[in-house]
């Protein structure tokens, strides 16, 4: 049977939750903490550690570790690692995520077996949450990482929906419409979710998958870098590609250590200023000539807020658009506002949310960091289609292949469609005798990039290419019709079916059809 668990696989931190014997939601502990830093540190190519211990070692030796791997899950490029023992190798981010989750599995299953025994204590259904703005490749990579880590029954759910479900369960308060403002380490999502008779329907969704707490940390780190340069009269660029050993008079290794130390202290400063009005940052630096120095800087909450004001205001503008979209869909009022994600603990967030939306709406912000994981655990106990009604928040389509519309984006599945949903497009050969055809397909973030119309515009991303080869020789271009069916499943992942028909409508078989989904890549 197995125990159902929910995982909030975060850019900065990961949380795993389950329902205990008393029916209460609980977080599983790793190294005696509820929150697991999403960091992998390599002692050698074959040996690695994760979590808090990995995070501490990573700061002093960043070349041996990988952090924020969630932000790179869909990337094919490999990340270079120099392990603590000197081993050099490369890993794709989704493989790093798989290693991380495998370590998590081993630890949490030990705890479950102790509490529930051998029959119920093994891991059963698993729900992993993903940002609402994750694209197909990122979702596929997440599922690949989970299954290769050892999870057998894996489903995905969006983070805002999980947060809404957890809040509803734990507060015991019914609400017809919930606004979830989810500001995590790597992404920002906002959704209006309508609750009716135990079902949670996504009405409107928006966000920015490049705007999260890490970006705020970067802003504060850049501020620290500028002061350090002035204080010591050195060149210490924040952007790695601007670093030059000869010009900066330090080795790349020393620069990497400095950069990791500044980012770590900037992140700590961000967290401290959520609780305190002032904080003194302290960083061990390696100066040119391998001289060591301890750099101190006192910073107040007011200054920090001024540095991140534009980014927080950007989340408010996105939230405003989503609220308006919900109104146009028939939601007359927001009954509750729920803050989720660690970055929502920044005081400026709640301040601006109250100013803009909180006049008549109560704002809930309890136990923000573990809320999404707890909602995922609840979803793991249910069939997703029994309690959720997700929808598409981006468009799926192809490029026009001829005429004045050449390379223009053609919508196959629009945004705002309830899942699962399908769409179909037809293609034809470009010339007589053609034996091979390629059909690239794309996603368009229509909400954040409303003016994107060509497939090379910002906001339109190529997912993959369908390749059909070994077509019979001598075909005329008007004798072949190629049908491509797109199906977006309940968890937001994409399935594709291809059929090639002759002039009589009969399917041509024995073709080589390739659609290189990311989840099948090594």
Structure tokens at 316: 């408010």
Helix, strand and coil content of the chain, in percent to the nearest 5, comes to: 35, 30, 30
pLDDT at 251 over 50: yes
Which residues make Cβ contacts (< 8 Å) with residue 312, sequence separation at least 6? 346, 348, 349, 352
What is the three-class DSSP state of 50?
strand
Q: What is the mean pLDDT of residues 60-84?
A: 92
Provide mean pLDDT across the span 480-485.
86
| Rg of the Cα atoms in the chain | 25
Q: Give the C-alpha distances (Å, rounded to integers) separating 285 from 231, 252, 266, 281, 473.
A: 12, 14, 14, 12, 68
d(C-alpha 461, C-alpha 135), whole Å: 9
Check if the beta carbon of residue 5 is closer than 8 Å to that of residue 377: yes
Collapsing DSSP to helix, strand or coil, 221 comes out as helix
Q: Given this model, what pLDDT does residue 520 score?
A: 36
| Residue 266: pLDDT over 90 | yes
SS3 at position 219: helix
| DSSP annotation of 304 | H
Task: Tell me the pLDDT tens digit for each residue of 291-305.
Answer: 889 999 999 999 999
**Portion of the chain with pLDDT greater than 90, in percent:** 51
Task: For 448-503, give the DSSP string.
Answer: T-TT--BTTSTTEEEEEEEEEE-PPTT--GGG-EEEEEEEE-TTS-EEEEEEEE-T
Strands 188-196 and 199-208: antiparallel
Neighbours of 23 (CB within 10 A): 6
To 10 degrees, the CA torsion angle through 100, 59, 130, 446? -140
CA distances from residue 185 to 236, 267, 379, 383, 402 in whole angstroms, order as listed = 25, 10, 23, 28, 43
Statement: residue 397 has pLDDT above 80: yes
Strands 3-9 and 123-130: parallel
How far apart CA 396 and CA 414 sit, in angstroms, is 7
Going from the N-terminus, what domains does the chain have, and what CATH number goes with each? 3-211+308-389 (3.30.420.40), 213-306 (3.90.640.10), 395-520 (2.60.34.10)
> Which residue has better confidence, 208 or 198?
208
Give 48: exposed, middle or buried? Use CB within 10 Å, 0-12, 13-18, 19+.
Answer: buried
Reported for 43-52, long-range contacts at CB under 8 A and 24+ positions apart, including other chains, are: 43/83, 43/84, 43/85, 44/83, 44/84, 44/85, 44/87, 45/83, 45/87, 45/89, 48/99, 48/103, 49/103, 50/99, 50/100, 50/103, 50/104, 51/103
- Give the pLDDT confidence of 146-165 residue by residue, as tens digits: 999 999 889 999 999 999 99
CB atoms within 10 A of CB 330: 8
Of the pLDDT bands very low, low, confident and very high (cuts 50, 70, 90), residue 519 is very low
- How many CB atoms sit inside 10 A of residue 209's CB? 21
Predicted pLDDT at 348 = 96
Q: What does the alpha-carbon distance between residue 437 and residue 387 come to, in Å, rounded to a whole number?
A: 42
User: What confidence tens digit (pLDDT) does each residue in 276-295 have?
Assistant: 999 999 999 999 887 889 99
């Amino acid at each position: 049977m197995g125990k159902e668990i929910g995982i909030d696989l975060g850019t900065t931190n990961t949380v795993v939750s389950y329902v205990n014997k008393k029916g209460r939601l609980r977080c599983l502990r790793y190294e005696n903490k509820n929150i697991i830093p999403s960091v992998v540190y390599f002692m050698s190519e074959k040996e690695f550690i994760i979590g808090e211990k990995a995070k501490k070692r990573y700061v002093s030796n960043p070349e041996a570790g990988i952090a924020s791997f969630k932000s790179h899950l869909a990337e094919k490029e490999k990340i270079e690692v120099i392990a603590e023992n000197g081993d050099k190798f490369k890993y794709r981010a989704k493989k790093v995520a798989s290693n991380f989750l495998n370590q998590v599995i081993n630890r949490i299953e030990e705890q479950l077996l102790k509490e529930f025994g051998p029959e119920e204590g093994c891991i059963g259904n698993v729900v992993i949450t993903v940002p609402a703005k994750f694209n197909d490749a990122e979702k596929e990579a997440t599922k690949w990482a989970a299954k290769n880590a050892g999870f057998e029954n894996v489903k995905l759910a969006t983070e805002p929906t999980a947060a809404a479900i957890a809040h509803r369960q734990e507060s015991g308060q019914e609400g017809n419409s919930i606004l979830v403002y989810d500001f995590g380490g790597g992404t920002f999502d906002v959704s209006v979710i309508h609750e009716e008779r135990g079902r949670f329907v996504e009405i409107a969704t928006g966000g920015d998958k490049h705007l999260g707490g890490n970006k705020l940390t970067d802003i504060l780190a850049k501020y620290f870098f500028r002061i350090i340069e002035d204080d010591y009269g050195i060149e210490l660029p924040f952007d790695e590609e601007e670093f030059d050993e000869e010009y900066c008079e330090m080795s790349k290794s020393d620069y990497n250590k400095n950069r990791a130390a500044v980012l770590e202290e900037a992140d700590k400063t961000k967290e401290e200023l959520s609780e305190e009005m002032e904080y003194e940052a302290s960083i061990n630096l390696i100066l040119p000539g391998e001289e060591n120095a301890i750099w101190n800087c006192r910073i107040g909450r007011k200054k920090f807020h001024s540095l991140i004001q534009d980014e927080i205001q950007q989340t408010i503008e996105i939230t405003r658009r989503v609220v308006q979209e919900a109104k146009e869909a028939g939601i007359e009022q927001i009954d509750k506002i729920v803050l989720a994600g660690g970055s929502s603990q920044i005081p400026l967030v709640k301040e601006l949310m109250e100013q803009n939306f909180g006049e008549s709406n109560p704002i809930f912000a309890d136990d923000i960091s573990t809320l999404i994981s707890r909602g995922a655990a609840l979803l793991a106990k249910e069939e997703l289609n029994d309690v959720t009604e997700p929808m598409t928040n981006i468009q799926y389509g192809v490029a026009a292949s001829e005429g004045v519309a050449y390379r223009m984006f053609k919508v196959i599945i629009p945004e705002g469609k309830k899942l699962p949903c399908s769409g179909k497009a037809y293609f034809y050969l470009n010339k007589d005798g053609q034996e091979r055809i390629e059909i690239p397909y794309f996603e368009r973030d229509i909400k954040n990039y409303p003016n994107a119309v060509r497939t090379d515009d910002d906001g339109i991303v190529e997912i993959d290419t369908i390749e059909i080869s070994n077509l019979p020789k001598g075909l005329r271009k008007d004798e072949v019709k190629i049908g491509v069916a797109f199906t977006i499943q309940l968890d937001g992942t994409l399935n594709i079916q291809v059929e090639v028909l002759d002039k009589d409508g009969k399917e041509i078989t024995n073709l080589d059809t390739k659609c290189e989904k990311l989840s099948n890549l090594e």
